[in-house]
Amino acid sequence: MTQSPNIMWFDPLLRAKTAELRYAVYRLRDALLHHESASGARKRARKEADEEKFGLAVEALACNLILLSAIDCGPKLAVPRSHGFLWRGDGSANPVYGQHFLCAIDGLASLGLIEEEQRGYRLSDKMRVPSLIRPSASLAEHLPLAPPDWRSVEQVDDRALIILKEGKDDDGRARAIAFRESAKTRQFSRQVRRINEGLRSADIAVTGQDAGLSLGKDGQVIAPYRRSLRRIFNNADWKQGGRLAGGFWMGMERTERFERIRIDGERIADVDYRQLFPRLAYARADKPQPEGDIYDVAGDGSGRDGWKTLMNAMLFSDGPLRNWPEGTLQHFPSGFKLRTATEMLAARHQPIAHLFGTGLGFQLMRVESDMLIGIIAHLASLGVTALPLHDAVLVAESKADVAANAMQAAFSMATGSSRAIVSIEFCPR
């Protein structure tokens, strides 16, 4: 799928927070229903349940368009239109989606309240162009857009707190699949629900938003209400993946997190594991943790970023690597061969060489995610708010040492080794 820094992806979880906006959405829904009837676009009135679904779609679209209008770079809103997405056979589709969603978009366009920039289409087997819309000037007659009252919008929790995905398709994406509930899946959901409850009541702020909102790397708005997480498992296997996703901080650049996020009124510290995946691999092989920097394969610090990317790619790959991982080759001397690099890695880390090319990475990710969830729960019991970020947590600066101690203990409990490398990074002054 093509990506653009000037596209905001539709969020079906947005709702009206204030009574004023709920009333404006109600009036907008009535205007669309009246237009449908008067124009002959719909021959029969909707049933009550269908009218509620239509109203839900209008509310979600209205809230997305309000946020869109508050973003300085003037992005377009990417909305789903494909039947394969709107009508998922596994029952996982959000209730916002369906024919009522398309009717709401068509109604807004027919009344001149939005402009359709482009209809989505497929460029190739691996590339799609999304459908894009943006508000017209007349939409301000129906919604608070002058200026856009984005604080009147909130995000509800996703019904799907845990998601099981299959392997990647031809587009490089992994589709969510249906699963049967069990004691284990209910436990996973309870864990995420407790995390979300803690985050919902936490004092988390983003500075610099009085002048407008901005977009994150994920094409979602950077706003403090986006703190409802879900847990994603991979390859149709509950033992693989399991990382938390959905938080606004996950789409921010590293420097921007330090500059703009405040927890309990404080600047944040980034407390993270160093070299976690290879160290988990050594634990999996029941081998002692190596001394020094695992990624310093050459022994002189050269090409460290390249060795890091290559080593982790070898842990995730199912079979020998056939090509350099993206963004890796420039870290090595000209003419350096992939085979030479992989042989050097295998020799440097002989105790875990048999694990390379076995697809172990997603299993290690599951260990990582279990550790992070335990850390967040422990810190919450101490009154410490922690924002998860793969193999790290973001905490208030005054809580950095507490978080580091919790992460050291979690590594020891998971691996039986006390040789975790936990670093603390503070905001540059």
What's the rounded Cα separation, in Å, for the pair 65 and 75? 10
- Six token digits for residue 46: 């909707």
Please report the pLDDT score of residue 169 as a whole number: 45
What's the rounded Cα separation, in Å, for the pair 167 and 355? 20
For 221-243, the pLDDT digits (tens) are: 999 889 989 999 999 999 999 99
Domain ranges, residue 130: 1-156
Residue 242 within any structural domain of the chain: no
What's the rounded Cα separation, in Å, for the pair 268 and 255? 11
Please report the pLDDT score of residue 1 as a whole number: 42
Q: Which residues of the chain have pLDDT under 50?
A: 1-3, 89-91, 125, 169-172
Residue 324 within any structural domain of the chain: no
Angle, CA 364 vertex, CA 286 and CA 372 arms, to 5°: 110
Please report the pLDDT score of residue 2 as a whole number: 41
Residue 199 within any structural domain of the chain: no
Residue 111 within any structural domain of the chain: yes
How is residue 406 annotated by DSSP?
Answer: H
Residue 65 within any structural domain of the chain: yes
For 38-55, the pLDDT digits (tens) are: 888 787 878 889 899 999
| Of 73, 95, 57, 97, the residue nearest 219 (C-alpha) | 73
- Chain centroid offset of residue 428 CA: 26
Beta strand 7-9 with 76-79 is parallel
Please report the pLDDT score of residue 410 as a whole number: 95
Locus of tokens 């020799």 = 347
Element (H, E) at 233: strand 230-233
Q: How many CB atoms lie within 10 A of CB 340?
A: 11
pTM, whole model, 2 decimals? 0.87
What's the rounded Cα separation, in Å, for the pair 274 and 196? 26
Number of independent structural domains in the chain: 1
Residue 143 within any structural domain of the chain: yes
Answer yes or no: are the C-beta atoms of 413 and 426 closer than 8 Å. no
Please report the pLDDT score of residue 39 as a whole number: 87
| Of 293, 289, 295, the residue nearest 419 (C-alpha) | 289
What's the rounded Cα separation, in Å, for the pair 242 and 223? 24
192: Cβ–Cβ under 8 A, 6 or more apart, which residues? 161, 162, 229, 230, 231, 244
Please report the pLDDT score of residue 4 as a whole number: 54
What's the rounded Cα separation, in Å, for the pair 97 and 400? 42
Residue 18 within any structural domain of the chain: yes
Residue 34 within any structural domain of the chain: yes
